[in-house]
Amino acid sequence: MAEAAGVAIKTVSRVLNNEPNVREETRQRVLAIVKKLNYHPSLSARSLAGRRSFLIGLIYENPSANYIVDVQHGAMARCREDRFQLLMHQVTGRGEEMERDVLGLVDQTHLDGLIVTAPLSESADLMRALDRRALPFVRVAPNDVAHPTPYVDMDDAGAAREMTEYLIGLGHRRIGFIIGHPDHFASGQRLLGYKAALAAHDIAYLERYVRQGFFVFESGMEAAKDLLSQNEPPTAIFASNDDMAAGVLMAAHELGINVPERLSVAGFDDTYIAKTVWPRLTTVHQPTYDLAYTATNLLLQMLQTGIAPQSMRLGYRLVCRASTAVVPK
Amino acid sequence: MAEAAGVAIKTVSRVLNNEPNVREETRQRVLAIVKKLNYHPSLSARSLAGRRSFLIGLIYENPSANYIVDVQHGAMARCREDRFQLLMHQVTGRGEEMERDVLGLVDQTHLDGLIVTAPLSESADLMRALDRRALPFVRVAPNDVAHPTPYVDMDDAGAAREMTEYLIGLGHRRIGFIIGHPDHFASGQRLLGYKAALAAHDIAYLERYVRQGFFVFESGMEAAKDLLSQNEPPTAIFASNDDMAAGVLMAAHELGINVPERLSVAGFDDTYIAKTVWPRLTTVHQPTYDLAYTATNLLLQMLQTGIAPQSMRLGYRLVCRASTAVVPK
DNA sequence: CTGAAAGCGCTTACAG
DNA sequence: CTGAAAGCGCTTACAG
């Protein structure tokens, strides 16, 4: 390759890495030969010599398929721009086993950086271990903001509060709430938003209208059946994600309760499922793709500059579809 | 590392690669130090010296999220067993642009092998280009079986025929069919199965009961509205995948047609969506995870032995849920 | 059964 | 602005 262009291998390296100090004419000549020969520098050789792998990892635990696919594509899109490759990694185990799994990945592949999704980002032990290895990482929301490393998130509490107020605005007073997985920081934030909205409208917070869910369909269905089986059941149910809200719809169908005529249902995330169930779900649009794209962007910036960029908060919006209506008389 | 164990670096290499000719005692000593020092050999150094990357690529075009996540996890699970890493890659463009995208990935990362999902596996040009690079690859079903490289698939035609016969068994005679994306070989196979079942039961194949879809929700919904708006509408609709079947349910809901009382609906794939819509979908269970796991297994075998293993066909099964019933009087 | 030498294809650090 | 030398951490091919 270098011989074909009549330059030293070092010059080719300079051109391909966009380094300065190459005459424009030389650059063009090299570029032409590169194209002609369809030359691609070897990733492994670059990695070994340059002590960087051009590999970014994205670790996740057990999220809903529609959510993780959005995350994946957002991160991939940003990686592609800088010719980085993205390594998706589903962690196994919990606690120490999870840590060993992640660190094994890091050590073996010599990742340049890591994107950590919730709730993995809430393991203080893992964060500490990553710090110890001096591995740059960015957390993708929603998660705990206490750690000093950069993150991208949205205002979960604010969004949940807005959704709850939207339901209150429709005249609902008995509003059920299904909490997300207890391991997720966001679950607590969304619950907080729900409570804040009630308080702001002088509606008492009643435990009997609140159930613990686990971010999965079945848990939403179970919780809804439980909520709806009591005297004075809620006239609206707000589930902490779309999968659980879809479960609420399923429960309503099975119980013969019409949505939204007799029961309003709201979700959170605005994943694919929200548009495919009937009636279509009113939900909070979480900019999942953008969150991942932005997180990757911050990570890449950090790798280039060596300094940690500012964390970012992205916007959300309510999406009102067919699963909510004014409270029945 | 080698010094700590008091052996040559080559011996460590032998132990870690499970090569023969190491005394058991030596092996144990090295293993102990490896564990103690938490030593992980550098992937890039191994790749450079050994001319292999321990990286497998999985390319896909634009499948439904639930499908690709199953594929991804199946392939990941098998990779993990042999300490290979999986690089997911969504191709951009079509035709020549798609080819350049894939070959760029291959050349840059020096993948050891590739898993090709449909409909990419149907591009003769791409297959030829991969062959020219002597890159081992396996195709994950469903796809065209003409090419000599190994693949894993299921009997799409047989499954579609069985499902159609199930509907016929329920008394349906006017059975609508929504074809899958025209780029997918499997789409034609499923149509063939539908036709075969009709023929076997002396039911005329009528074009007015057949519509072209594209494997996405909206296309199923549009097709169903069209099918149901005619005189003597079908009493059952069989969609070539679950996403489209969910679209059929949505259309039925919007038209006020009760499922399954007045209309039976069947899907194909048995992805997550089949269990979350109401009523739950009767569908063909496609062993997506196993298909991907098995494809990866064949690829890894091929890498080790250098010879192409036998292709495999995996089983399917009908899953009868709540969206189908006997024909209305 | 074990090891010393050469080399994989780049980048780093330096010289000119 | 350009290049020659050294070296990244392993594996290959060979010798003993």
Closest CA in chain A for residue B217: A276
The per-residue pLDDT for range B99-123, each reduced to its tens digit, is 988 988 888 888 999 999 989 988 8
pLDDT in the model for residue B229: 96
pLDDT in the model for residue B1: 66
Using CB atoms within 10 Å of the CB of residue A63, give its burial: 0 to 12 exposed, 13 to 18 middle, 19+ buried: buried
End-to-end CA distance of chain B: 79
pLDDT in the model for residue B237: 98
Contact flag, residue A26 CB and nucleic strand D, below 7 A: yes
Whether the pLDDT of residue B29 is over 80: the answer is yes
Contact flag, residue B37 CB and nucleic strand D, below 7 A: no
Considering just the CA atoms, what is the radius of gyration of chain B in Å? 24
Contact flag, residue B275 CB and nucleic strand D, below 7 A: no
Of residues A34 and B314, more confidence is placed in: B314
Nearest residue by alpha-carbon distance to C1' of C8: B49
* Nucleotides in chain C with any atom closer than 7 Å to protein CB: 1-13
Gap from B136 CA to D1 C1', Å: 43
CB A213 within 8 A of CB A180: yes
Query: How close A79 comes to chain B (CA, Å)?
Result: 11
Kindly report the CATH number that applies to the domain delimited by B2-41.
1.10.260.40
* Nucleotides in chain D with any atom closer than 7 Å to protein CB: 1-13
- Distance (Å, whole) CA B326 – CA B55: 51
The per-residue pLDDT for range B301-313, each reduced to its tens digit, is 999 888 889 999 9
To test the contact with chain A by mutation, choose from B276, B280, B293 the residue with the greatest count of A C-beta atoms within 10 A, namely: B276
Where do you find CATH 3.40.50.2300 in chain A?
53-154+288-314, 156-286
CB contact under 8 Å between A108 and B243, yes or no, is no
Contact flag, residue A21 CB and nucleic strand D, below 7 A: yes
Gap from A147 CA to C9 C1', Å: 40
Lookup result for tokens 């300079």: A14
- Distance (Å, whole) CA A141 – CA B325: 44
Gap from B6 CA to C2 C1', Å: 12
Give the domain B52-153+288-314 fold.
Rossmann fold (3.40.50)
**Tens-of-pLDDT digits for all 329 residues of chain A?**
667 777 888 888 888 888 878 888 888 888 888 888 878 888 888 889 988 889 999 999 988 899 999 999 999 999 998 889 999 999 988 888 899 889 888 888 889 999 999 899 888 889 988 988 889 999 987 677 777 889 999 999 999 999 999 999 999 999 999 999 999 999 999 999 999 999 999 999 999 999 999 999 999 999 999 999 999 999 999 999 999 999 999 999 999 999 999 999 999 999 999 999 999 999 999 999 999 999 999 999 999 888 889 999 999 999 999 999 999 98
Phi first, then psi: give them for residue A210, nearest 5 degrees.
-120, 135
List the structure tokens of B287: 């062993």
The per-residue pLDDT for range B62-78, each reduced to its tens digit, is 888 999 999 999 999 99
To test the contact with chain A by mutation, choose from B34, B35, B44, B90 the residue with the greatest count of A C-beta atoms within 10 A, namely: B44
pLDDT in the model for residue A151: 94
Nearest residue by alpha-carbon distance to C1' of D4: A8
CB A285 within 8 A of CB A242: no
CB contact under 8 Å between A278 and B250, yes or no, is yes
Q: What is the mean pLDDT of chain B?
A: 92
DSSP structure string for A236-284: EEEESSHHHHHHHHHHHHHHT--TTTT-EEE-SB--THHHHSSSPPBEE
Task: Report percent pLDDT > 70 for chain B.
Answer: 98
Chain B residues in contact with A253 by the CB 8 A cut-off are 278-279
Closest CA in chain B for residue A53: B44
pLDDT in the model for residue A1: 66
Q: Which nucleotide is nearest to B22 (CA to C1')?
A: C1
pLDDT in the model for residue B177: 98
pLDDT in the model for residue B196: 98
CB contact under 8 Å between B110 and A243, yes or no, is no
Q: CA torsion sign, A303 to A308 to A310 to A313?
A: positive
Which residues fall inside 7 Å of strand C, measured at CB? A 1, 9-10, 13, 16-17, 41-42, 45-46, 48-52; B 7-8, 10-11, 14, 20-26, 45, 48-49, 51
Q: Smallest Cα–Cα separation from A247: which of A194, A325, A178, A195? A: A178
pLDDT in the model for residue B124: 87
Of residues B148 and B267, more confidence is placed in: B267
Of residues B243 and B16, more confidence is placed in: B243
**Which of B48, B53, B65 comes nearest A69 by C-beta?**
B65
CB contact under 8 Å between B38 and A107, yes or no, is yes
Strand, helix or coil for residue A92: coil
**Long-range contacts from A52-55, C-beta under 8 angstroms, 24+ separation:** A52/A110, A52/A112, A52/A303, A53/A109, A53/A110, A53/A111, A53/A112, A53/B43, A53/B44, A54/A83, A54/A84, A54/A85, A54/A112, A55/A84, A55/A85, A55/A86, A55/A87, A55/A109, A55/A110, A55/A111, A55/A112
Whether the pLDDT of residue B163 is over 90: the answer is yes
Q: CA torsion sign, A210 to A216 to A217 to A219?
A: negative
CB contact under 8 Å between B48 and A53, yes or no, is no
Nearest residue by alpha-carbon distance to C1' of C5: B10
CB contact under 8 Å between A276 and B243, yes or no, is yes
Gap from A14 CA to C14 C1', Å: 16
Whether the pLDDT of residue B320 is over 90: the answer is yes
Domain A156-286 classified CATH 1.10.10.10?
A: no
Phi first, then psi: give them for residue B18, nearest 5 degrees.
55, 35
**Which of B42, B88, B90 comes nearest A110 by C-beta?**
B42
Kindly report the CATH number that applies to the domain delimited by A53-154+288-314.
3.40.50.2300
Where do you find CATH 1.10.260.40 in chain B?
2-41
CB B193 within 8 A of CB B158: yes
